Structure 1
Amino acid sequence: MKSALIVIDAQRSFTQRPYWSDADLSRFINRLQALIDRCEARDVPILQVFHVEEEDGPQNPFSRRSGFVEPLPELRIRPTAVFTKSVHSAMFASNAEGQSLDYWLRKQGVGRVIVSGIRTEQCCETTTRHASDLGYAVSYAIDATLTFPMVAGSGRSYTPAEIMDRTELVLAGRFADVVRVEALQL
């Protein structure tokens, strides 16, 4: 089955958010770069997705005019194709020709997507569920995702590790094969 790697929202925009933390950044970059390099070596298409919001003008770090809608500088990525989205699921993203990510994948004969990027429990998880519902086999590269501490309405704080554990719990065996980069079969 032909695979494609989707790198979701690994962009500088997040560095401008108040919740941004470098605490897990080196782990994330190391794992994501290893995944990108493995895919590149095996001619697996690498699809880069950027989250773009033009509301609020250039002061919004997700606006193209902000200058922050670009890859994290630590990443070395030469994408096969680039897509943008304004919602959580990358499956709704489109390229410069107006083709949806789903259309592009089907046209290329891709049956399995490998999900990676920022944020573990938001755009990465949403994309995983959506891709699964569209009939794709999904490999969720959990260690090639990044998230940040969160506080629930109850006041309870969750660490990135707890959020990642929860994401693995709800996706594994239902929506995706949740794997570590080194164990991923290409």
Structure 2
Amino acid sequence: MTNTDAFDAPLALDPDAVLLLIDVQRGFEDTDFWGPRDNPEAERRMAELIDAWQATGRPVVTVQHASKAGPLAEGTPGFALKDFVAALTPALHVTKTVNSAFYGTPDLHDWLRERGARQVVVAGIITNVCCETTARMAGNLGYDTVFPLDATHSFDATGPDGVTVPAADLARATATNLHANRFAKVVTTEQVLTAAKA
């Protein structure tokens, strides 16, 4: 866990804070497969973060999920990154087959350590799956982890009791899990943008 005083301090961004864009892929537009989503402004918020990172020369890492089947399967149109992310020349591109970006190729943790980076900002899709998993692991590995919740989005999901939980409720649970257990600083995109300009 991070130091409590540091965790509760106002948000500050390192000059080399790394933006992790998780699974911003076309396959998530398949609403027949995924169902209803929350936060229709998520992609706009991600684009604002990209603009801020490019303006300040901070590194961006793109992450791409390669499923064995379904809308994100490698070789299908859905595997492709959305246009506004595909247009980037990232500092690193990670391909993964599991939830955490830290279990992909090339090795994200090794790359961050080689750079001496200590702070990561996690944005992308899905809030409560790959974004949350990556943020939890980043916190466990000792990174100062920032989670702009409104630069992520989720989908409705049905539990083992047959009850469908709305995407917004799942996102709220993610925010609570990350904040209450000190995995990450849960913030807004606007807070990150303000810190990026400071």
| TM-score where L is the length of structure 1 | 0.87
What residue identity is the alignment partner of 1:48?
A: T
* 1:36 lines up with 2:46 in the alignment: no
Aligned residues between the structures: 177
The structure that is helix-richer by fraction is 2
Deviations 1:92-124 (A, max 9, x none): 121xxxx30111111111100100110000000
* 1:167 lines up with 2:177 in the alignment: no
**Counterpart-to-counterpart distance in 1, 2:39 and 2:190:** 18
Given candidates 91, 98, 101, the residue that maps to 1:80 is 91
**Counterpart-to-counterpart distance in 2, 1:77 and 1:178:** 27
**Counterpart-to-counterpart distance in 2, 1:46 and 1:92:** 18
Given candidates 53, 56, 76, the residue that maps to 1:66 is 76
Q: Give the number of the structure with larger relative contact order, counting CA–CA contacts within 8 Å between residues 6 or more apart.
A: 2
Listed as ranges, the gaps of 5+ residues in structure 2 are 1-13
Cα-Cα RMSD: 1.9
Identify which range, 71-80 or 34-43, moves more after superposition: 71-80
Q: Which residue of 1 aligns with 2:100?
A: 89
Listed as ranges, the gaps of 5+ residues in structure 1 are none
How do 1:11-26 and structure 2 match up within 5 A?
11-16=25-30, 18-21=33-36, 24-25=39-40
Q: Rate the CA distance shift 1:11–1:101 in 2: closer, same or farther, 3 A.
A: same
Instruction: Please report how far the alpha carbon of residue 157 of structure 1 lies from its aligned counterpart in structure 2 after TM superposition.
Output: 2.4
Q: Which residue of 2 aligns with 1:157?
A: 164
Shift >4 Å, 4+ stretches: 20-23, 74-77
* 1:178 lines up with 2:186 in the alignment: yes
Q: Percent identity?
A: 31
* 1:147 lines up with 2:154 in the alignment: yes
Deviations 1:36-87 (A, max 9, x none): 111111111110000012x35xxx4322211322222355751222110001
The answer (yes or no) to whether the contact 1:3–1:45 under 8 Å persists in 2 is yes
